[in-house]
Chains A and B, each alone.
Chain A
Amino acid sequence: MKKTILALAVILTIGMTSAFANEDINQNAVASFRKDFATARNVSWQQSRNYVKATFDLNNQVMYAFYNYRGELMAVIHHILSNELPGDLESALKKEYREYWVSDLFELSSDDQHLYYVTLENADTTIVLKSDGSSGWKYYKKLK
């Protein structure tokens, strides 16, 4: 599962729109989604060989839910602002990465993990950090 979560994070950080084709949507995923997010609005579906992705509004926020073909929820992702991070992570960004600006920030939740990924840029470098929310930011990958 951790490998899969990692793959989803990579898809999101490098652009996911090209990963999906228009095919009939897996009904196991659709049924699970309706149960998991009964109040979701503006739902649209995409699917790839391995995942089914629902894009939707929940609580006036755009979110992405990923299901496997058995209809199991693999992860939910949504973009957030830096002031929506847990307080210590927001402070750490401001203290330790002052020379960068935030170009992307999202939260990824699954049954067994809750992670934050932030893309930071300066004139020369683009890096991605991740955190499990309790142990600060860790270097994840360098994009530039």
Chain B
Amino acid sequence: MFISLAMLLTLDASAQQVSDQDPISPKVLKSFQQEFAKATNISWMPDKDKNIYHARFQYNNEPVEAFFTDDGTLVSTARFISERQLPIMVIKELLNNYSFYTIRQVVEFTNGQETSYMVNAYNEKETLVLKFFANGDSQRVKRIKNKS
């Protein structure tokens, strides 16, 4: 589930369509209000097929996304961060192993148990989606060859 949530954000966030037609479950709304009482500019993107409610909002002056199941459980929180905000060991790995890539986007995911970082990086040949943990451990989630 984490990977699919992450892919939503790191591959093509602009392609998402905000829906305000389906009602949000009261349990989800209550949970959201408890977790993010000061959120503003809230948009919901419910996806009932996947049993996930996706909220996009401003929190502490930053764009944040949160994912809930329909029973109100907060599955994951994501926020777009700068490369500078990455943990030291992630920066070190990027500089040592991906110096020929340009960082397009970094998303921090927190799920209560762990924090991880999805990095979308590209060069003239390909685009990579990499998942990093704070200690620098990483895995390649996706590799897309650029169209020639």
Task: Please measure, in the bound complex, the distance between the C-alpha atom of A109 and the C-alpha atom of B135, giving whole angstroms.
Answer: 7
Which residue among B92, B112, B136 has the maximum number of chain A CB atoms within 10 Å of its CB? B92
Say yes or no: B91 contacts A107, CB within 8 Å. Answer: no
The chain A residues found within 8 Å of chain B, CB to CB, are: 36-39, 58-61, 63, 76-78, 80, 83-84, 86-88, 90-91, 94, 107, 109, 111-114, 133-134
Please list 15 pairs of residues, one from A and one from B, whose beta carbons are closer than 8 Å in the complex, sorted by A's number.
A36-B96, A37-B95, A38-B95, A58-B92, A59-B83, A83-B62, A83-B85, A84-B85, A86-B108, A87-B79, A87-B110, A112-B135, A114-B87, A114-B89, A133-B134
Contact of A86 among B59, B62, B110 (CB under 8 A): B110
Chain B residues near A37 (CB-CB < 8 A): 92, 95
Say yes or no: A107 contacts B87, CB within 8 Å. Answer: yes
Chain B residues near A87 (CB-CB < 8 A): 59, 62, 64, 77, 79, 108, 110
Q: Is B84 an interface residue (CB 8 A)?
A: yes
Which residue among A77, A90, A112 has the maximum number of chain B CB atoms within 10 Å of its CB? A90
